Amino acid sequence: METTLIILKPDAVQRGLMGRIISRFEDKGLQVVGCKLMKISQELAAEHYKDHAGKPFYDGLVRFMTGAPVLVMAVRGIGAIAISRSMMGATFGSKAAGGTIRGDFGVSNSFNLIHGSDSPEAAQRELGLFFKDGEVLDYERAMSQWVYDYSSGSPE
């Protein structure tokens, strides 16, 4: 099972889309194993986006991400990273396909609603930035047997 970081950005929170977006992950069969509403500090934003430092959009991105609350989630499932990124859609809402989160809810190329880790390495680093030890939980869901085929003894 993979665990990935998902951030519902300030525009998603301010537009009241949190519940609808969380439902999409749960409806897909992914498990929310950590979740908190928070305000990102300048320091945390700088660390999270350090690979973009010096790029023309960096200052605006940090200002945007620190300007209002975000919802951070740890989401788990087989292939959770690729599945989540597919669900999110193309980076720019104006180019994202219908049926994706950005395609259904976004039109802006700056305000793109959601962030998801793009690799297992990024997920591990990002989860460590946003969640303390013990805040990402391991728990069994009764419905897991209906999400994954366990007939071989382990989930497909």
Q: Domain for residue 60, yes or no?
A: yes
Q: Which of 12, 115, 116, 130 is catalytic?
A: 115
| Strand 2-8 to 114-116 pairing | antiparallel
Q: Domain for residue 150, yes or no?
A: no
| pLDDT for the residue numbered 156 | 81
Range of the structural domain that residue 110 is part of:
2-131
Q: Domain for residue 104, yes or no?
A: yes
Q: Domain for residue 121, yes or no?
A: yes
Q: How far apart are CA 118 and CA 104, in angstroms?
A: 21
| pLDDT for the residue numbered 109 | 84
Q: How far apart are CA 12 and CA 104, in angstroms?
A: 12
98 Cβ contact partners less than 8 Å away, ≥ 6 residues apart:
104
Contact 9, 111 (CB under 8 A): yes
| pLDDT for the residue numbered 40 | 98
Q: How far apart are CA 124 and CA 121, in angstroms?
A: 5
| pLDDT for the residue numbered 133 | 96
| pLDDT tens digits along 3-33 | 999 999 999 999 999 999 999 999 999 999 9
50 Cβ contact partners less than 8 Å away, ≥ 6 residues apart:
none
Q: Domain for residue 7, yes or no?
A: yes
| pLDDT tens digits along 33-44 | 999 999 999 999
| pLDDT tens digits along 89-113 | 999 999 999 999 999 999 988 899 9
Helix (H, G, I), strand (E, B) or coil at 45: helix
> What number of other Cβ atoms are within 10 A of residue 129's Cβ?
13
Q: Domain for residue 151, yes or no?
A: no
Q: Domain for residue 140, yes or no?
A: no
Q: Domain for residue 139, yes or no?
A: no
Helix (H, G, I), strand (E, B) or coil at 53: coil
CATH number at residue 7: 3.30.70.141
pLDDT band, residue 142 (cuts 50/70/90): confident
Domain count, the chain: 1
Select from 22, 156, 154 the least CA-distant residue to 101.
Answer: 22
Mark whether 115 is an active-site residue: yes
Mean pLDDT taken over the chain:
95
| pLDDT tens digits along 43-56 | 999 999 999 999 99
- Single pTM value for the model: 0.94
What are the residues facing 76 on neighbouring strands?
3, 31
